């Protein structure tokens, strides 16, 4: 069984979505600050779009990070 991509119906590339969500989560930035940073890089998205991405993909990214950390700890010991 093949895994469906969670980014299938989005026009924006998964790399940009991941960048926007990680900027918002990792650094103490507001949604509008993330919007401004992306605008400086030539990416025009609304702060509401970033909020939607954060609500939709944030838990998925968090579980990926947790899974990688556990794998690294198991490989280390």
Question: Quick one: average pLDDT of 24-36?
Answer: 96
Q: Give 1's pLDDT tier (boundaries 50, 70, 90).
A: low
Q: Tell me the average pLDDT of the chain.
A: 93
For 45, counting Cβ atoms within 10 Å of its Cβ (0-12 exposed, 13-18 middle, 19+ buried), the class is: middle
d(CA 64, CA 68): 6
Backbone φ and ψ for 72, nearest 5 degrees, come out as -65, -40
d(CA 31, CA 51): 7
Sign of CA dihedral 23, 12, 57, 76: negative
């Amino acid at each position: 069984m093949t895994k469906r991509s969670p980014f299938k119906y989005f026009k924006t590339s998964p790399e940009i979505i991941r960048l926007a969500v990680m900027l918002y989560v990792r650094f103490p930035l507001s949604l509008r600050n993330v919007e401004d940073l992306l605008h400086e890089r030539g990416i025009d998205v609304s702060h509401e779009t970033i909020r939607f991405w954060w609500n939709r993909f944030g838990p998925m990214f968090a579980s990926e990070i947790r899974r990688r950390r556990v794998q690294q700890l198991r490989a280390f010991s």
